[in-house]
């Protein structure tokens, strides 16, 4: 059981590192796109499309970060509910106490803080694309609206990735059922 605890704590660290690496990839990707778009490599009439592209290219990265945060939260709750009582440890419960109750979730703040730079880039990209002389205003307007909808969906996804008290109850129920079958 102690090995399981250590393995899961290591997994949490690994998942948080993955979220940070994904953020770094997004920042490097967006920086590279912005740099290339202002270079002579991209033709002037296409520059605005390239500048707008991070609004769409960062979507998978935001999803991956949110997935890592959700998995971290699930592991943390498993540790708190099932391992710590048996090992007489209190780290997860103590963290929850420090956050003043079960409603305040570190994972929400961590997720939002981690994806926010990517969302800011997604919001800036349409504005930056205007600086390059948009050749098709109707297309730019349509793509900018789609980019705005995507950002709204990403923020909505943040709520989808949160674990509710019902999820915790389902976890407890599944664990009890698993233990009965194991005996």
The pLDDT of residue 159 is above 60:
yes
pLDDT (0 to 100) of residue 21: 96
Asked if residue 23 lies in contact with residue 114, where contact means CB atoms within 8 angstroms, the answer is yes
Altogether, the residues listed in the chain come to a count of 183
Confidence of residue 120 (pLDDT cuts 50, 70, 90): very high
Cα Rg of the chain, angstroms: 21
Check residues 33 and 100 and name the one with the higher pLDDT: 33
Token duo for residue 87: 């090992």
Average pLDDT over residues 120-136: 88
pLDDT at 86 over 80: yes
Tokens encoding 84: 């710590």
Is the four-CA dihedral 36, 119, 58, 148 of positive or negative sign?
A: negative
What the block records as the tokens of 10 is: 């290591």
Q: How much is the average pLDDT of 129-142?
A: 87
Mean pLDDT of 96-110: 62
Q: pLDDT band for position 130 (50/70/90)?
A: confident
State how far the Cα of 65 lies from the Cα of 63, in Å rounded to an integer: 5
The DSSP H or E segment spanning 31 is helix 2-37
> In the numeric block, which tokens belong to residue 133?
């002389």
Q: Do 93 and 84 meet the contact criterion of CB atoms below 8 Å apart?
A: yes
pLDDT for 95 beyond 60: yes
Residue-wise over 6-26: b if at least 16 C-beta within 10 A, else e?
eeebeebeebeebbeebbeeb
Which range among 9-18, 110-119, 124-133, 170-179 has the greatest average pLDDT? Answer: 9-18
Q: Is the pLDDT of residue 19 over 90?
A: yes
pTM assigned to the model: 0.79
Is residue 45 a contact partner of residue 132, using CB atoms and an 8 Å limit?
A: no
Is the pLDDT at 42 greater than 80? The verdict is yes
Local confidence band at 163 (pLDDT 50, 70, 90 cut-offs): low
Structure confidence at residue 99 (pLDDT): 65
């Amino acid at each position: 059981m102690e090995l399981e605890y250590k393995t899961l704590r290591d997994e949490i660290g690994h998942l948080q590192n993955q979220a940070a690496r994904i953020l770094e990839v997004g920042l490097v990707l967006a920086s590279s796109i912005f740099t290339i778009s202002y270079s002579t490599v991209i033709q002037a009439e296409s520059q605005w499309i390239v500048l707008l592209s991070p609004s769409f290219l960062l979507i998978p990265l935001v999803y991956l970060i949110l997935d890592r945060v959700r998995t971290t939260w699930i592991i943390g709750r498993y540790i708190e509910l099932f391992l710590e009582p048996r090992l007489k440890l209190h780290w997860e419960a103590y963290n929850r106490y420090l956050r003043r109750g079960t409603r305040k979730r570190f994972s929400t703040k961590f997720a939002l803080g981690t994806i926010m730079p990517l969302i800011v880039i997604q919001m800036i990209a349409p504005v930056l694309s205007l600086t390059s002389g948009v050749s098709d205003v109707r297309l730019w307007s349509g793509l900018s609206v789609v980019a705005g909808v995507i950002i709204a969906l990403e923020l909505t996804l943040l709520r989808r990735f949160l674990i509710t008290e019902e999820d915790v109850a389902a976890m407890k129920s599944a664990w009890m059922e698993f233990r009965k079958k194991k005996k």
